[in-house]
Amino acid sequence: MASAPPTPAGPYTVPLHRLAQMLSECAAFQTRCSLTYPDADAEAKLVNGDGGLKRIYYPDLTDENALAGMPYAVITWGGEWRMPQSSGGARNYFSGAQGELILRIADKSRYPANREAALRDFGNFVGQVILTGDDDNPGLLELAALDDRLVISDLAQTEPPWECERREGEANGEIYWQAEFSVRYGFSGGG
């Protein structure tokens, strides 16, 4: 019998999990996944896969059927992670783990016969996941301002939106769009 996976704890794994939680709380991501915002069980559904609706993966895409369920997101570690410490061994309570996560968002083309409309639609969706300007329908940057969330210090596009065609056998060769972002964070509290 397989044991339950460990709970994320500490400054190395908690940031991955917190970003996944925040993404599951985004109004635009919930809506695009056919949930009614605000869905109190969104994390259980989108991160843990309750009800067969897993759409947020970390540290990589482990489900071969994920391409059939769009949109989806993959969160993994970036190239930078550090744990600043003040000299003399004294704890500096204003520092904590700082690092980079990579966020890739993908969705099927809602306008497969019109690339311009498809790009605008995908761009609007991703833009709303990042920032809405509306605290009642939050994006990642609105959620980052809350006390118990990952402190996002910088969010930068690393790969612009691009159109991909699924290979034969991957949901009938449908067209989908994806984009990738670097999410730099400062984290304190250790978990």
Q: Which two tokens stand for residue 93?
A: 């309570």
Residue 98 confidence (pLDDT): 87
Q: Which two tokens stand for residue 67?
A: 């391409």
pLDDT digits over 94-114, tens only? 456 889 999 999 999 999 889
DSSP 6: P
pLDDT digits over 70-102, tens only? 899 999 999 888 877 655 555 544 456 889 999
Q: How many CB atoms lie within 10 A of CB 2?
A: 4
Type of residue numbered 84: P
Nearest to 94 by CA among 18, 191, 11, 186: 186
Domain ranges (residues) in the chain: 14-186
Residues of the chain with pLDDT under 70: 1-2, 62-68, 85-96, 166-173, 187-191
